[in-house]
Structures are given as C-alpha cells and as structure tokens.
Chain A
Amino acid sequence: MIGVTPHLKHVSDGFVLPLLLLLLLALTALAHSALLVATAEFRMSRIANDLAAAQQAAEGALVQLPGALLGLPGRVRVGESVVVDIEPVPTATLRVGVSRLSRESWFVQAEAQASEGRQASEAAVFWRLDPIARLTRLTGAVTVPTGVSRSGAARVETEALWTDAECPSMESALDSAFVAGSPKGVEPSNVAGSIGLGAITMDDIHRLVPPTLGRSGTPAPLDSLGSCGEATWNWGGADPVDTPCGLVHVVRSSTGDVDIVGGEGRGLIIIHGDLTLRDGSSIVGMLLVTGRLRLTNGAYFRGMAFAGEGVRVDPSAHIVGSICVAAASLNAASGALRVFLPLVGATRLGQY
C-alpha cells in the first residue's frame, strides 16, 4: 500500500483536468465573442428595420399627401407653413409640414418616427395650378413663343379689364395682378413651359381630362331636363344667359388637330396639335394649342390663348382678348386640373 499510494497520486496529478479547463475556457471565450457579435448584429438589424419602417412611412406619406392637401390653398399664404394631419400608419407616427413657396409651389416634408424612436424624413416640392399665376405668364391676348409666325395680329383686340360681371369673385386678385390692364395683341414670350399650363405636361392633361375631341365638330349648348348635358360637343353657350348651359365652362382636350366648324361654346380647350375655328364659330374662354391656331371665315374668339407654333387670323375673323373670361374658364377647370403634382427636378429631396 505504501508503494501504491504515491503512484495513484501521481496519476491524479495528470494534465487532463487543466486541459479540460483550458478547453472550456477557450470555448467559453469563443462563445462569448460569438454572443457579442450576434447581439451586435441583432441590434443593427433592429435599427435598420426601424429606420426602414420610418423611411417607408415618410415616403408613403408623400404619396398619399396630395389628397390631404386639397383644402389647403385657400388657407395658406405664400411664405407660411402649417402642419397637416394625415392618416396614421401602424408602424410609425407621422408629422407633415407644408409650406407655400409661391402661388403654385409647395414644399412638403414628412417626418416619421418608428416605435423604437428612429426618425426618417422625406421632402418634395409639389406644384398646383393657380389661375392668377397662369394668367400673369401670358404676354398678350394671344401668346406665342418667340420667333413663330403671327399673321393677322391687327385683328386681335383687347377689351378693358372689366366689361361684365363674369368674374366678380376674382376681381381683387386680378386687379392686383394686372395693374397695367389686360395684355394686348399677339405677343411673343420666352416663358418656360410649352403650353402655358406650367408644370402640367400633356400626359398629365390627358390623364386628368381624357381627350374626347375628334378631328372636327360643331359645339352647341344642349340643355337636358333642367341641366346642361355632358356630351363631347356640348360646350355650353358663348353668351351668358339664364339657362342651364348659359354659364357653363367646359374643359376639353384632344390628342391631335381639331377643326371647329361653326357652333358656340365656352371653356378651357386644350389641343395637342393645330386648332382651326371656321364658319362663324364663336368660342369664349381659354385656348391652349401646342400647334398652330387659325381663325377663318367669320370665326370669333374671346378670351386668352396660347399658340405653340403661331397664330393666323384671317380678315373675316377676329379675337377679343379678355382676362376676365379666361380667368373664369381656368377657375372652372380647377376641379379637373388643380391637383398637386410632384415637381420634376424636386420630386424627392431626400433626408437632410
């Protein structure tokens, strides 16, 4: 027994236990390090997820915003800012600030805060048609780009700013915008925007006002059961009379050349091509023509016009420039055209 005991003691003093301990220590260190990496990764994933949720909410707000802004223009003056409420989203709280930069330009910023407190924002500039701003861009009763033909300009007269009561609600605004009176004659302009409707493109117009006009037609008022019908060539009457179609201003558009043969009507007519008024047709309102505008054989137009490729007024025809009826037509078109459109070039400004 005396010889056995030291031997057993020697065996139990071997390297197994320290080795196992070292191994456990090394594995623990590795596991701890892996846990740290995984925890950091989890934290970063959560932050990224929160940021993405906030960013998505802010971007979504800008998309659904135009509908929420419709009531604003009358309440916000140029240079003012307001905070508007929009429909909440489950992933973030939203705040939207709207600032009016000019009569037609609006800066909008949506700020979203996700549940974990991460914030993201998105901003854009929107554009919305304003009749007064549009009219102040016109340089003449008929405005044409610099360098295009202007035949028969002598037969373009201009009436005094106020000759009737067709636009009483806009008098003060028009008075301050046209201190020098109505633009006269046929005048060139280098104003940006090919059709005189600012940032609205022809594609936008055709989306908002489906192009229903065919190659030619004769507009005429068509009262039906006490209201003015909505047929393509029912443009109301040229003279304001006390009938359902008497004071109607229509909005019509085309995708090509149009001939108006006789007839009468009132409103905003947008032609993507040439427009010819002939055979005594009598139109009142505003004409926006990307091609050539021609009046012949006793045709008559009263209002303001933009002709992208020039104008020709034959000796038997004439134009009377009228800011008043043009303003009334543009104003009446507000339901169709006064939507908030993201302004190209500043559609998304990003987060700063």
Chain B
Amino acid sequence: MIGHTKEMRGGTLIEAIVTLVLGLLLVQMSLGALARGHTLHQGLLERADALKTVRIVRWVLRAELSKGHPGEDWMVHDADSIVLRAYRGVAFPCLITTGRLDVTYRGGRDPDPEKDSVLLVYESGETDVRALERWGPGASCSWRLGVSPSGWSAQQWAVEGVLDSGLVAVRLFESGSYHIADGALRYRRGRGGRQPLTSNALSTPESGIRTGGAGLGVSIVMKSQGGGDWTRWVSLARQIR
C-alpha cells in the first residue's frame, strides 16, 4: 500500500505538470485563435466601412456635380474642397409678372429664401442668378410634367429684380462646398459648419480631390489599424474645363 501510494503521488505531480503545460498551450492557442478571429473581424468591419465611404463619396459628389457645369456651377477650390451650386429643385414658369412667378415645382425639399437662390434659364441658353425673396403655394400652375406626374406642386415665387421674356426654367440652389478634411467627407452650406457625411475613417491629407489626365476624381485613403493603406480612386468627371 505504501509503495502504491508513492506511485500515485509521483504520477499526480507529472500529470499535473503535463496538464498545466498542455493547459497553457491550449490557452495560448485559444487566445491566438481569438485574437486572429478578432483581427479578421476588425478588418472586415474596416473594409465594409471603407466601401461604404467610397459609395457615399461617389454617389453624393457625382449626383451633385452632374447637375452643373464645371467652372460655372462648381469648381475645385483646393485639393480638399469643391465649391458648388447645390441644386435642390427645378421649376417651370406658367405665368410671369413683375418679379413674381407662378411655377410648377419639383425638388428634394421646399424652397427656403433664407438660404436659396435661383438660376433663371432662358430659351437662348443664357442664365441669370437671382435671390429668392418669398415663396408660397400657388393655384394657377397646373402642369404635370415628365413621366411621373405626381411630385409637382403649384407655387408662387417672388424673385429679385425684373424678369425678361423667354424664361424657360428656374433652378433652385443653395451655395455650398464639399470638403475632405478631418478624416471625413463633409458638406458645408454657405458659411456654416462642416457637417460630416461619412464616418471619421479617411486618412487626410492623403485623401483628396485630384485633377489630371484621368479627369476629376477623389483619391480615398482609409485609416487602417492593421497597417497597410487601403486606397481607392473615385472618378467624378471625365473632363473639366
């Protein structure tokens, strides 16, 4: 019994050491697997965020810039900003009297004289920018245009100055600028603050607006915690004047 007890003790110690070593190995492998899984997961999140940022930049800037002409409606102000007339709607006049327009209007939002101006488009192709002074519901303009007749509303606008004949369309816009600064794409209306449109994941000033042989575009470089830059080119316009 004594000898047997000794054998048992020795075995317990060895087993305990082996178990401890194996346990430590297992813990290390487990932690390694968890860490690797976490890194992969983090990378996936970063990539998803990067793709979302690319999509937002492409969609927003392309939509805004395509509504105007370079040099007239928008211009690249610096490597990090584009100044533009951000068009928000279009109106077609039914009745023109001194400084007053009865129009049928369709847009992303209602007019706001506090921040909006109008671009008058004449039949000759000439244009003129005026301030929008007032607006309200109208009754006399019943046009329903295009393929989706709904969405148009009759309004009455008061516009600064005298209006010439031959007016075809009136475009509503606000002055604004898009910036790639402080880690995000930002929109600034007038002289207001710069509001972020994407997550704060851009690497600046490496990211920015670039012009060259390929036209105008945005070079996007994402911040990456795992090291290694994630870079994409978003083309906005083939040619700019």
Residue of B12, B48, B107, B149 ringed by the most chain A CB atoms within 10 A: B48
Q: Which A residue's beta carbon lies closest to that of B142?
A: A79
Are the CB atoms of B34 and A27 closer together than 8 Å? yes
Q: Which of A14, A48, A96, A347 contacts B55 (CB 8 A)?
A: A48
User: With a CB–CB cut-off of 8 A, which chain A residues contact B135?
Assistant: none
Q: Which B residue's beta carbon lies closest to that of A200?
A: B125
Are the CB atoms of A34 and B41 closer together than 8 Å? yes
Are the CB atoms of A30 and B121 closer together than 8 Å? no
Q: Which A residue's beta carbon lies closest to that of B105?
A: A352
Q: Which A residue's beta carbon lies closest to that of B54?
A: A48
Are the CB atoms of A41 and B123 closer together than 8 Å? no
- Please tell me which stretch of B87-95, B175-183, B190-198 contacts chain A, meaning at least 4 of its Cβ atoms lie within 8 angstroms of it: B87-95
Bound state CA distance, A345 and B69, in angstroms? 8
The answer to whether the Cβ of B241 comes within 8 Å of any Cβ in the partner chain is: no
Q: Please, what's the 1-or-0 string for B132-172, where 1 marks a CB less than 8 Å from any CB in chain A?
A: 00000000000111111101000000000000101011010
User: With a CB–CB cut-off of 8 A, which chain A residues contact B106?
Assistant: 352
Bound state CA distance, A27 and B35, in angstroms? 10
The answer to whether the Cβ of B15 comes within 8 Å of any Cβ in the partner chain is: yes
The answer to whether the Cβ of B44 comes within 8 Å of any Cβ in the partner chain is: yes
The answer to whether the Cβ of B45 comes within 8 Å of any Cβ in the partner chain is: yes
Q: Please, what's the 1-or-0 string for A93-111, where 1 marks a CB less than 8 Å from any CB in chain B?
A: 0011101011011011111
User: With a CB–CB cut-off of 8 A, which chain B residues contact A201?
Assistant: 125
User: With a CB–CB cut-off of 8 A, which chain A residues contact B125?
Assistant: 127, 193, 198-199, 201, 343-345
Are the CB atoms of B168 and A19 closer together than 8 Å? no
User: With a CB–CB cut-off of 8 A, which chain A residues contact B124?
Assistant: 191-193, 198-199
Are the CB atoms of A193 and B37 closer together than 8 Å? no
Are the CB atoms of B143 and A37 closer together than 8 Å? no
Within the complex, the shortest CB–CB distance from A194 to chain B, in Å, comes to 9
- Please tell me which stretch of B19-27, B202-210, B216-224 contacts chain A, meaning at least 4 of its Cβ atoms lie within 8 angstroms of it: B19-27
Within the complex, the shortest CB–CB distance from B104 to chain A, in Å, comes to 10
B65-119 interface (Cβ within 8 A of A): 66-67, 69, 87, 89-90, 92, 106-108, 119
Chain A residues with CB under 8 Å of chain B are 3-4, 7, 11, 14-16, 19-20, 23, 26-27, 30-31, 33-34, 37-38, 40-41, 44-45, 48, 51, 79, 81, 83, 95-97, 99, 101-102, 104-105, 107-111, 121, 123, 125, 127, 133, 191-193, 198-199, 201, 343-352
| Given A192-B164, A192-B166, A345-B171, 20 additional A-B pairs, CB 8 A | A7-B12, A14-B19, A19-B23, A37-B48, A41-B48, A48-B55, A51-B59, A81-B146, A97-B147, A99-B145, A107-B146, A107-B169, A109-B145, A123-B90, A127-B125, A344-B69, A344-B127, A346-B90, A350-B66, A352-B106
Query: Can you pick out 23 interface pairs between chain A and chain B where the beta carbons lie within 8 Å of each other?
Result: A7-B11, A14-B23, A23-B30, A27-B34, A30-B37, A30-B41, A37-B48, A41-B48, A45-B51, A48-B55, A79-B143, A101-B169, A105-B123, A109-B146, A111-B146, A127-B123, A199-B124, A199-B125, A345-B169, A346-B168, A350-B66, A352-B89, A352-B108
